[in-house]
Amino acid sequence: MHTYIALLRAVNLAGRGRVAMADLRDLVTAAGHGDVATYLQSGNVVFTSDRTDPEALSADLRQRLAGELGVDTQVLVRTGTEITGIAAHHPFREAQPDHAKLHVAFLAAEPDPGRAAQLTVPDGAPEELHLAGREVYLHYPAGAGRSRLTAAYLEKWLGVGVTARNWKTVTALAGLARQRA
């Protein structure tokens, strides 16, 4: 069995894309996966499966969400190994003792190298970013709440779907993945 983490984009935000976590767990279980757990109300689900293609899992879960729960949203899937690696290697973690100011943006695909090379923080913004494959590690020294370095900004620059999670969520998901390994 393999461990996976599915990250749903933009669910339960300001009344949009309402998904009850019990319904999400039931949906993932009915899809034939096991040891299913959700984390928070923002569309994070950890599960095991004998399937080996994360992209196929992503497409299947998206289709089921739309068909069964009426929510058409992007679903990004990472393996347990990927999420634990991400949690172990945030490049700003040592320099920023307040981990509430650290985030990770998960990309639906690796961006075009030309677009990736041009990625910068908005002019005058204090944030820092580091793109590594399908993740953008983010540091918000003044907090993320009013930052212009948003998922929408990253999507525009990189041309791929994005969903972001704060550091506490990333490390909690890594812990849940390790429990299933």
pLDDT at position 18 is 84
Which domain-ending residue is among 36, 60, 82?
82
Which range marks the domain in which residue 101 is found? 88-167
Q: Is the pLDDT confidence value at 7 over 90?
A: yes
* CA distances (Å), origin 12, targets 65, 84, 96, 117: 14, 25, 29, 33
What's the pLDDT tens digit per position in 19-77?
889 999 999 999 999 999 999 888 899 999 999 999 999 999 999 999 999 999 999 99
Which domain-ending residue is among 58, 82, 106?
82
What's the pLDDT tens digit per position in 113-165?
999 999 999 998 999 999 999 999 999 999 999 999 999 999 999 999 999 99
**pTM of the model as a whole:** 0.94
Categorize the per-residue pLDDT at 10 as very low, low, confident or very high, splitting at 50, 70 and 90: confident
- How many helices and strands (H and E) does the chain possess? 6, 8
Q: Across-strand partners of 105?
A: 136, 164
Which domain-ending residue is among 63, 82, 101?
82
Distance CA 75, CA 98 (A): 29
Is 73 part of a structural domain of the chain?
Answer: yes
Q: State whether 128 and 60 are in the same domain.
A: no
Q: Is the pLDDT confidence value at 14 over 90?
A: no
Q: State whether 12 and 78 are in the same domain.
A: yes
Mean pLDDT of 103-112: 97
pLDDT at position 39 is 93
Which CATH number fits the domain that encloses residue 137?
A: 3.30.70
| Per-residue b or e along 151-166, where b marks 16 or more CB atoms closer than 10 Å to that residue's CB | bebbbebbebbbbbbb
